[in-house]
Structure 1
């Protein structure tokens, strides 16, 4: 923290008996350096923040307008103040200079006792350098702490806490799209936005040479403005690589994304603010009302699944988080908000991605929609696990009715059947489908498969015949045979759910017997 004009006058300049003539409201300006000069045209050599000492020698014999011009030029350079030693050129500081300094809000000080300028400069600049070195140590220490936090895999919430401890004021992270990502030192989102509006300092965060967002330090910091800017800029420089590291480049999931998905799959408790911060750190900023669709993928190589999801995220142009957890690649995608059925839209997109990328050997399950809460996301992600395992098994033993991409809601019936004890599955088949199953066994026909395809196509003869690659007349013959064997009309709507469960149980039972 650099010393202020007020502090220097009360300490290092006390022996010179300073008297403040103007600019009292600006005495808390930080002083970056103290030096003396008698040059009239000194202003171009000033960079701002200096406390200038002069005996007024360069103003000797000039008129009031010239003296005003001298101070006006210096004030425009945003110096901290001007101190004039009395007794050499002026017995009193000319009133025109006091008036001009007052107009500009510039601290103008009369030094009423002669003290060598070299002594004043040495004393003041020693303090300035000492504090600058101390500030550098603080900033370097903050950088080291942030890097340690990154090494532990912590997200923006923890990083902002470290930054806030140094700035002593609220710090807020806002994504480039305007979404509030994380904040520290505020009670709620409204307070966070208020801190942004009255920012004491802010710095852009760049990720892979692209603008990612802004780090803002709110009002109330004990640091002087220059030091606050330095702290915020250094912190933003560390956050950039952190966010770049957490993003998921093609073929390799980000560490922050993977850890977040692992915690969600493990159903760990995550506070709302932390979830929002971790989603943003993983490259997926949250906006109001955002929903997510989970995806689970089994592939010969995890990199194949990651590239597939990465392609889908890019095609959507929407946020997404990708990671590998326990040899399964998971993702949560933000579908098009205009989609009436986000699950179907996501499934269609994934089928397109598989086709476009000529990907084989992949089994993918699209889960149920989830809200932007840890509980909702965990529930949806966890539910995709059993669905994916079932889909993989069905594709392996060719007992399923789905392609490489399916949805959990399509598998709910099979999941229920799969959870039944073997005896209950056998009883369900025997009491519902036994005559038809016996006919299939004796005649090596496929009436059970025909019935399941018919029911899954909503009882549409046209769509069922097309799916089975047979004529409608042949289908009608099979359906008549099924009706005769079962003794009831399998097309009755009230029987659809029961028959589908029984047919699923038959498939599971047949696979278990190796049929």
Structure 2
């Protein structure tokens, strides 16, 4: 009999904490627990295995930003954590509304512990019961693993191997590729028919590749990675009905990973290029050594020395956009690789050497159709000479997205940014944030535009935007007026006032470049760019490919 969250909250060791469910209360009665764990670390999610009740004090959350708290909740939910219990007190008098809303949206039960309780006592008392249950689950999971191995030895298809797992866990089981395509699937009903029909009968309806099981009411979806030779190749999805043991499903699913990997190698021979491509993107993102990038690029079919660019797409539907992006890259590039990391879709595209810049512009133009969907923002990094420099292109694309996140207008734009951004349009900003610290940037902007900024602040005007647009339009007054949707006479009046505040018409002086730079930096003056994205200095992770260190 599985142990559920509601039972644990009523346990004598935990009930004295006066627990109250603040979010996703409707799921508490059916939420099953695999383990109870405590941690004050906000980056704990990758270290958890799913199914845990996580106990934590309020000190770390009290000093964290709202954004970090929400990220904490989302990471736990994505990891499959069963519930989160937070102890409130002097440091954290109550649970922040942002956490409650995020937990409700993610379906993660969020519990407030209103009195202090020793977490060690809670874990010792309840985990002892969970241990005895886990022994039984391990035994049944081993039985499932053995039965799947027998099916594999008899030449069974992936559908039939999954049918064994579905029959033991009573869950709908699907094996999907990294692009989200269903490779095989099975339901408990298939498993029962398979046992009756014998080992060599073809699996019936519900196991056809491409038909993802329909979600059941209150079912829990468990994701398990399936690597092949150390490289992530597929995902195993178990859709567990509320009345079934999801801990058994999770344990049995993890025990089946090696068998499924072997079956994929024998039966389907999954594309090595796809697997190597995903590993290549991860290696580029982590800044691996050039020899490793060259090794993976060769396996992924990407020329080592050909020009290439990196692409970063941020969207809530990044997995769904992956197929569209790959179709576009197949047309616009010689070779490519993609990888989805939560809300980020990362890619590298190898371009023809004889017209690489022209191909890059075509790739940019084609991405506009892809990024037209709501909530999508993409950036194309600078062109580099080969795979060894791909980390720099990727880091510059990510930095561009951070710079473009400003609510104010960007280079050459009279309004919000387009959904696809060229990193080269932010070359000035990228160089400056890597060469100057925030104080130096603010000081430079103040020296050049102090009177204009004060005027805008006092009059609630937008002369800075007018000046930036005029400069971006090459000092063409008529063009700038059209960009700002104002009459030409009004534009001339604004410019006269701007020139008065800036010490005269800059076109007749050597100040034009300085003013243009200052307007571009004004939106960055108060922004904090994540340090991990500010590369290019001697102390940073990456260097520009053409830079050389000197003693």
TM-score bracket relative to the smaller structure? 0.3 to 0.5
Based on CA coordinates, which of the two structures has the bigger radius of gyration? Answer: 1
TM-score (norm 1): 0.46
Q: Normalising by the residue count of structure 2, what TM-score does the alignment of the two structures yield?
A: 0.43
